Each structure stands twice: as C-alpha cells, then as structure tokens.
Amino acid sequence: MKLHSLAAWKKAARSWLEDDRDAAAGPRRAGGGRPGGDAVGDVTKLSPRERRKAAHAIAAGVEFLLPTRPVDEILPGADRAEVVMLPRLIRHHLWSMPEHELLVLGAIATMINPTLVVEFGTFQGGSTLALAANMPDGGRVVTVDLDPAERRTHEHGLGTGLMDFDLGCLFRGTRYESMIEQRYSNTLAFDADDLLGRADLVFVDADHTYEFTKRDTAKAESLVRPGGWILWHDYTWAPENSECAGVTKAVNEFFQHHGACFQIAKTRFAIHRVPGAAMRKSA
Ligand SMILES: C[S@@+](CC[C@H](N)C(=O)[O-])C[C@H]1O[C@@H](n2cnc3c(N)ncnc32)[C@H](O)[C@@H]1O
C-alpha cells in the first residue's frame, strides 16, 4: 500500500479506524506489514481503541514532504557497505526495527565512520548494537532511555505509563557492550553538557509524538558536530502507527527551516547532514 500522499493515508486510515475487529487485535508492526504476534504488549497503557483515537487525532493533516533518496545517493558506496549483523537482531516486536532497516543503519554507521553516536531511545538495544557493531574500534555509543523505575508513571505523548521490557538486553554480553554507555533520562531532561557539539551522529527514536520529537530534534542539533548527521526513525509509518505523525511533523518543520533532509528509500528513516564549519562560515 502506497501511503505517501495524504489522500492515500486518509483512505487507509478510514478503513482501519472503521474496522472494529482491529480494536481487539492489538498493535501491529509498521513498515513491513509483518504481524506483531510476538509483541509483548501494547506500547502504552491505553486500550487499542483509545490509542488509535489519539493517534488518528495527531495524524490529521500531516503530509510527507521530504524528498526520497536511495541510501547510496546520500552516502555514496553505502549500498555496497559490508555490514555486521547479528542473528539476535531478528525480532518481531512493534518497537524493534526490521532487518532491512538494521542493515541500512549499519551501512550508515560504516560510511559515516563515527567515533561518537548519541541515540535517543534504546529499548532492547537492537539499533544500539547495529550501530556499535559497525563503528570503528574505539567508537562509543551513548544511548538514552527512561529509568525503568519511571516507566509506570512516565507522562508521554499519548498518556501515562509504558510497558515493561529488558532495556539493552540485545547488546549485553556481546563484544560490543564495552563501546556502549547507557544513560537513564527522559530525553526532555537529558543533561548532555559533556557531549555538546561532539556527536558524529545523533539518532532520534524515543517518544514519537510531536512535542517530544521537536524537542529531541533541538537537542540533537546541540549535540551534533559541524558536518555531523541527524537520523530519525519513523518519519513514515503505517496507519496503525499514526502516532508517529509527530515525527513527520517535527522533521517537516526542521526540513522547512534547514533544508537538506531526505527520507531514505525503502525505509522509515529521515536523515540530515549538518553543515560543516567551512560551509557555515560562507553561508
Ligand atoms: C521505538 S523504541 C526505540 C527502539 C530502538 N531504537 C530500536 O530500534 O531497537 C522507543 C524507546 O524510547 C524510550 N522513550 C520513550 N520516551 C522517552 C523519553 N521521553 N525519554 C527517554 N526515552 C524514551 C522508550 O522507553 C523506548 O525504549
């Protein structure tokens, strides 16, 4: 189903919203139509019906404005990158990335060759591991997620409380674990003075509603070095994940202000390269 026009999205959303059977089926995975049969539960404490209602309200009127480019047009050679993938990254969870996106994420890390990556939204650590495994020796990933003790009372963009999960379980025990530093924080309160202007890549994948993504994006801008990159997940989404419209809206605004943002073809990623020091001087 092609969802890159508002009309197509509305048509799909209408049929989805009208289908009462879906209310009992729980969340489905975006981006590939694969069933979320082994999802461990709803991502919020809202009922499926409440969640869909909130998501539909949020999504109304959002369009996909970014131009789409194959990854190798953005990072020449990325389509031939030799990427490290671990079988433990094969997950069927609503919040986990499918393998093709992990492969692209690994290719991005390979091409950018970062020494410091900052990630907002660790979850089980799948994307963290894909990044670390494809960074040079000595590279470091600082990944930020809520303190597990705060999940039940956390006020997020769709209500209160998040499900339980084993934070970072996918990178624990791997040889890449020593490259990864887990920090516990609400991204909105993330105190990152030691990282300001130093990250080669900031990956934004925490709360997908608008206010959070907008503020996470502003924080990403403060952390990235001149010439570095900002990457967002879930710029595009399937109707059942339309709370991600917050990402679309926030990234659209960023694009309208800064330009040079692309959706990476066949993925839900959006990417932006921050101007380098020389480019900034001449601007
Ligand atoms: C979609 S998951 C991240 C998936 C992960 N990047 C991956 O690909 O495996 C979103 C994560 O963001 C975290 N999160 C949501 N809101 C947050 C916030 N305000 N501050 C910090 N973490 C947050 C959730 O606990 C969850 O682990």
pLDDT digits (tens, 9 = 90+) for 94-142: 899 999 999 999 999 999 999 999 999 999 999 999 999 999 999 999 9
The pLDDT score that the predictor gives to residue 64 is: 96
Q: Compute the distance from residue 212 Cα to the ligand 1 centre, in Å.
A: 11
Ligand 1 in contact with 242 (CB < 6 A)? no
Ligand 1 in contact with 158 (CB < 6 A)? no
Q: What is the spatial distance between Cα 140 and Cα 198, in angstroms, rounded to a whole number?
A: 12
The pLDDT score that the predictor gives to residue 48 is: 75
In this predicted structure, the answer to whether residue 240 has a pLDDT above a threshold of 60 is yes
95, 158, 268: which to mutate for ligand 1, most atoms within 8 A of CB? 95
In this predicted structure, the answer to whether residue 3 has a pLDDT above a threshold of 90 is no
The pLDDT score that the predictor gives to residue 56 is: 77
86, 119, 154, 207: which to mutate for ligand 1, most atoms within 8 A of CB? 207
pLDDT tens-digit map of 62-77: 999 999 999 999 999 9
Q: Compute the distance from residue 122 Cα to the ligand 1 centre, in Å.
A: 5
The pLDDT score that the predictor gives to residue 54 is: 75
Q: Compute the distance from residue 128 Cα to the ligand 1 centre, in Å.
A: 11
Q: Whose CA is nearest to atom 23 of ligand 1?
A: 206
Q: What is the spatial distance between Cα 22 and Cα 30, in angstroms, rounded to a whole number?
A: 15
Task: Tell which atom from ligand 1 comes closest to the C-alpha of 212.
Answer: 19
- Fill in the amino acid letter for 228: G
Q: Compute the distance from residue 215 Cα to the ligand 1 centre, in Å.
A: 14
- Residues 273-279, mean pLDDT to the nearest whole number: 83
Q: What is the spatial distance between Cα 148 and Cα 152, in angstroms, rounded to a whole number?
A: 8
Ligand 1 in contact with 270 (CB < 6 A)? no
pLDDT > 70: what percent of the chain?
82
Q: What is the domain partition of the chain in residue ranges?
A: 6-282
40, 187, 188, 247: which to mutate for ligand 1, most atoms within 8 A of CB? 187
Q: Compute the distance from residue 145 Cα to the ligand 1 centre, in Å.
A: 6
Name the pLDDT band for 10 (thresholds 50, 70, 90). Answer: low
pLDDT tens-digit map of 13-33: 444 444 433 333 333 333 333
Q: Compute the distance from residue 281 Cα to the ligand 1 centre, in Å.
A: 36
Runs of H (alpha helix) within the chain: 6-18, 20-25, 48-59, 71-74, 99-112, 126-132, 210-223, 245-258, 277-282
- Residues 217-241, mean pLDDT to the nearest whole number: 95
- Residues 271-283, mean pLDDT to the nearest whole number: 73
In this predicted structure, the answer to whether residue 260 has a pLDDT above a threshold of 90 is yes
Beta bridge partners of 134: none
The pLDDT score that the predictor gives to residue 28 is: 34
188 compared with 282, residue with greater pLDDT: 188
pLDDT tens-digit map of 131-188: 999 999 999 999 999 999 999 999 998 999 999 999 999 999 999 999 999 999 999 9
How does DSSP classify residue 124?
A: T
Q: Whose CA is nearest to atom 16 of ligand 1?
A: 207
Task: Tell which atom from ligand 1 comes closest to the C-alpha of 95.
Answer: 1
- Residues 247-263, mean pLDDT to the nearest whole number: 97
Q: Whose CA is nearest to atom 11 of ligand 1?
A: 121
pTM of the full structure: 0.85
Ligand 1 in contact with 97 (CB < 6 A)? yes
Enter the tokens of residue 71: 């990854």
Cα-based torsion angle of the residue sequence 248, 252, 254, 255 in order, rounded to the nearest 10 degrees: 130
- Residues 4-12, mean pLDDT to the nearest whole number: 52
Q: Which fold has domain 6-282?
A: Rossmann fold (3.40.50)
Task: Tell which atom from ligand 1 comes closest to the C-alpha of 97.
Answer: 8
The pLDDT score that the predictor gives to residue 42 is: 53
The pLDDT score that the predictor gives to residue 281 is: 45
Cα–Cα distances in Å, from 23 out to 11, 16, 47, 240?
Answer: 18, 10, 8, 11
